[in-house]
Structure 1
Amino acid sequence: MPSTSCHPDAPHEKLKAPDWYVSALMMDRALDAILRRVKKLDRAHDIPYLAGYSQDGKTIYIDRHLPTSFTFRGRTIAVDRFLILHEEVEKTLIDQLGLHYLHAHQIATRAEEAAANAARVTWQAYDRFMQKYVKQIGDERLQKVPADLDLKPYRDYHDYDLLQRMEQHSEHTPGLGAKFKAELKAYAAAFREQREVAKRQAARVGKAAPAANKRAAKAAPVPPRRPAVRTR
């Protein structure tokens, strides 16, 4: 077992708890098993939303600007293992079960939260640390995007602005494969067309609304007048 595991030397003794009980030790063991399956961890690229995976699922990418740890109540908390768990669960649910990205992402986030809690880290503190770097990384130019980064999450999330920035930068990035560039352009073009269609539909609805309101006003029956109230 790798030395980075939570209990490299501890024997796997039978736990005195129900099978359904998710204890910290059980979560750590499950997380260790997932970490052993990761073939390659890459921290040398710019990754939107902090982490992602290759198209074949063999590489987990974590953004090069994200620190490897943060301090919580006097303890140093390594973050890679939680992000790896999220990406592995998400990728498996999408590829093996055919889930939509947003559904797989929700399940993976719950697993990530459970792992953080098992490490005695509050989700609020963990998420606050992550969101700080999501904002910074999202605002910068994407200078080093992996050639085999799986684009499905960004496509399913309908992040048109991000795909557009990635498409613009891909023209000046050496090493990106033709297939990756073509896929990126196809997604961006599809989103552009979708946005134009939505704009045209909104414009038609906007023009039709005043006329429809006028017709409705003319067709509406005139309410009967109330009889005047007599005062003595």
Structure 2
Amino acid sequence: MHYKKDLKKIKPAVIYSEKDWLMSHIMLNLAVEEILKRVKLDRSYDIPYLAGYSKDGKTIYIDRHMPESFISLGCVIQTDRFLILHETVEKTLIDKLKLRYQFAHQIALRAEQSAVRADKISWREYDRFTQRYVKEIGSEELLRVPSDLDTRPYRDEHDKELLAKIEQVIHEQLLNDNAKNGAVEKDKVVEGKK
């Protein structure tokens, strides 16, 4: 991340005392770092629309098939931080201001774009990369979905087919978990009788 070089030259007290509009790329990256400290990332599930969030907003989910980086001009560009920013902004606007997903998504997209550009990364290249995976991931079968995934975006998009798929996968996972737990309980009872 290019901004870290700039941060080494400036003492933290100076960062906050200067007019923040003079160093907006530094302030934006500091804000992103603060957000990253407050949420947990989970990349172990199939997530429609590439990324999402838990109902309580404490976990950001990025689809397990989404690469963590891409190469641009010979540099490895890590994408998680930008997707986490987008999802956190979106979730906050939906929960706190009661915005519809479509409006919250547009604002979150602008925040994501600003953060990408603040890191001196081509938005066009970044967006092309992520959109490619949105399409590929969207055509995949959902096998694992977190039970606490916030489905508001899919409801606001009136994506009934996707919602039904999500609910079916979560239901099947719960049945499998209960069956496994039942088998474990049976094993414990059998062991206790020996």
TM-score tier (shorter)? 0.7 to 0.9
Are 1:129 and 2:129 counterparts? yes
Query: Structure 2: which 5+ runs fail to align?
Result: 178-194
Contact 2:144–2:169 (8 Å) recurs in 1 = no
What is the TM-score normalised by the length of structure 1? 0.67
Aligned alpha-carbon RMSD (Å): 2.5
TM-score of the two chains, using structure 2 as the length reference: 0.80
- Number of corresponding residues: 172
Pair 37,167 (structure 1): closer, same or farther in 2 beyond 3 Å: closer
Distance apart, 1:37 and its partner CA: 1.2
Identity of aligned residues (%): 54
Answer 1 or 2: which has greater helix percent.
Answer: 2
Unaligned runs of 5+ in 1: 178-232
Rounded to whole Å, the distance in 1 between the matches of 2:13 and 2:98 is 36
SS of the equivalent of 1:56 reads coil
Larger of the two Rg values belongs to structure = 1
Query: Which structure is higher in RCO with an 8 Å CA cutoff and minimum separation 6?
Result: 2
Aligned position for 1:44: 44
| Structure 2 partner of 1:32 | 33
Contact 1:147–1:175 (CA<8 Å) still a contact in 2?
no
For residues 115-154 of structure 1, the C-alpha deviation after alignment (integer angstroms, 9 at most, x for no partner) is 0001111111011100111111111110000000000011
Query: What are the residue-to-residue correspondences of 1:155-194 with 2, within 5 Å?
Result: 155-174=155-174
Residues 56-113 of structure 1: CA deviation (Å, up to 9, x unaligned): 1111111100011111111111100001101111111111111111111111000000
After superposition, the Cα gap between the structure-2 partners of 1:112 and 1:19, relative to the gap in structure 1 and judged at 3 Å, is: same
Residue 143 of structure 1 aligns with an amino acid whose one-letter code is L
* Cα distance change, pair 89–176 in 1 and its aligned pair in 2 (3 A): farther
Q: Which runs of 4+ in 1 moved over 6 A?
A: none
Q: Distance in 2 between matches of 1:85 and 1:33?
A: 10
CA–CA separation in structure 1 for the residues paired with 2:30 and 2:98: 27
Residue aligned with 1:52, SS: strand
